[in-house]
Amino acid sequence: MIPLEKWFSDIKKKIIVAGPCSVESPTQLLTTAQEISSIKNVQVFRAGIWKPRTRPHTFQGIGVKGLPWLYQVKKNYGLKIMTEVATSEQVIQCLKYKVDMLWIGAKTTTDPLAVQAIADALQGVDIPIWIKNPVIPDIYLWMGALERIQMAGLKKIGLIFRGFFPTTPTKYRNTPNWDMIRKFKKKNPLLPVLIDPSHMAGKASYISTIMEQYVREDINGWMIECHYQPKQALSDASQQVTPQTLQKLLSHFL
């Protein structure tokens, strides 16, 4: 396995990634970004351009036309911008619009061919890329995705832990299972880790409880879904917090 570099060491405090599940409109995106930009410690604005939803009749994302709006967030508010990619064409489009960071989603991590296509598109590109754990607790799928991205020559790689699809009834959307990420970190101690409490919780009211579980662990930051009008969100409305709630959460846990 290719040795990893400790590229994250220049960040002295936890990195906070926040923003809506999906890009929906210029008004939704820029209003949310404006409110988030005033919150201390938020450095990165996240928003899904393409949404690999399980069912075809749900909102699948705004697509390429949303990338100029995302770039406007970067230009207007000085936040780094970040989105999910699942194909080589999506990577190419994101690079065109100067997206600062990318992530590979939990569904895509389970597909070696999709990860390889992303890796091929990133050959020779110096961009941070974050890999979410697969939807099932298979450490080899996660490791395989990491190795494919490494083999493309990328050095700035991190993990996002968003829990696993539950096999037994639980109040959470996805089961928190820190034991697996401990094993992964033991094999890759230099990898930075972000915790995604939104996808673990499934409900905004549970996010604080999830954050409490991980606040004492060796993590590098949080990715939290935030929308200026969560109840009107076109995807994952129940797990998105308002900017005001986000500010309260961060002031409590940082």
pTM for the model stands at: 0.94
Domains of the chain by start residue, with CATH: 15-253 (3.20.20.70)
In the predicted model, is pLDDT for residue 240 greater than 80? Answer: yes
Mean pLDDT score, 21-33:
98
Helices (H) and strands (E) counted in the chain, each on its own, are 10, 8
CB 5 within 8 A of CB 155: yes
pLDDT at 7: 64
Q: Which of 64-68, 129-133, 163-167 has the lowest mean pLDDT?
A: 163-167
Residue 140 neighbours by CB under 8 Å, 6+ apart:
none
133-190 residue pLDDT tens: 999 989 899 999 999 999 999 989 999 999 998 888 889 898 888 888 888 888 888 8
Most confident of 154-168, 186-200, 238-252: 238-252
- Helix (H), strand (E) at residue 110: none
In the predicted model, is pLDDT for residue 5 greater than 90? Answer: no
Task: Report the percentage of the chain scoring pLDDT > 90.
Answer: 73
Please give the backbone phi and psi of residue 80, each rounded to the nearest 5 degrees, phi first.
-70, 150
pLDDT at 159: 94
34-54 residue pLDDT tens: 999 999 999 999 999 998 877
d(CA 35, CA 142): 34
